[in-house]
Amino acid sequence: MGTLKTTNIESISGSGTVTLGTSGETFALGSGVTVTGNGLVGITEADQWRLTSGITANTDPISSNLERVDTTGQGTLGTGMSVSSGYWTFPSTGIWKVEFDGYISCASGDNVGIAINVTTNDSSYAEVSRSLDGNDSAHSGSLHCNSLIDVTDTSNVKISFDVFSVDSGSTLEGSSDKNTTYFTFIRLGDT
């Protein structure tokens, strides 16, 4: 085995694809190697938002009392999501993992549900994931739903979140200093 030392690799024509290796081979990066540019990169976008105060009625979409996490030790990678009137816009195309975690206080005999909705035409939304909890007695609990969203066009592919089946005495909890009900967005890779 030899060592290849170079500062630049490009195709013969100066543009196009340069192929390293063949199918089934693995490239390993040494410990401490830093990758820059648009080449071998991992997750480039990770964002988290939360509900800052409780919701006590059916709400579709959840459009107020939202903030990007900002407590000491929490952070965001990349540009991050944007939201307007409860409709969320992705900063870039790709396959995104979207998670909705809710903490509920349920009144006796009630159930509360959360859902993720998606549109591919910036108009018609369809539910793609939901979670529901209910009981004969009053209780608290956590709900979780998630989906992989194929964002092929940032102008048309958007999502919204809703809470449903909320009767009197039940609450989807919120907090401005910790994640009780929160939304997570992670870009996994290209579409």
| Per-residue model confidence (pLDDT) at position 8 | 76
**Rounded Cα–Cα distance for residues 162 and 143 (Å):** 13
Strand partners, 189: 95
Q: Mean per-residue pLDDT for 103-130?
A: 95
The single-letter code of the amino acid at 43 is I
pTM reported for the whole predicted model: 0.80
pLDDT digits (tens, 9 = 90+) for 162-177: 999 999 999 999 999 9
For residue 132, what pLDDT is reported? 93
| Per-residue pLDDT reduced to its tens digit, 119-173 | 999 999 999 999 998 777 888 999 999 999 999 999 999 999 999 999 999 999 9
Return the SS3 of 49.
strand
| 54-64: pLDDT as tens digits | 999 999 999 99
Radius of gyration of the chain (CA): 22
CB atoms near residue 94 (< 10 Å): 18
Residue 13's pLDDT is: 73
Q: Determine the topology of domain 46-189 in CATH.
A: Jelly Rolls (2.60.120)
d(CA 49, CA 184) in angstroms, rounded, equals 7
pLDDT higher at 34 or 45: 45
Q: Could you say which DSSP state residue 55 is in?
A: B
> For the chain, which residues make up each domain, given as ranges?
46-189
Structure tokens, 162: 């809703």
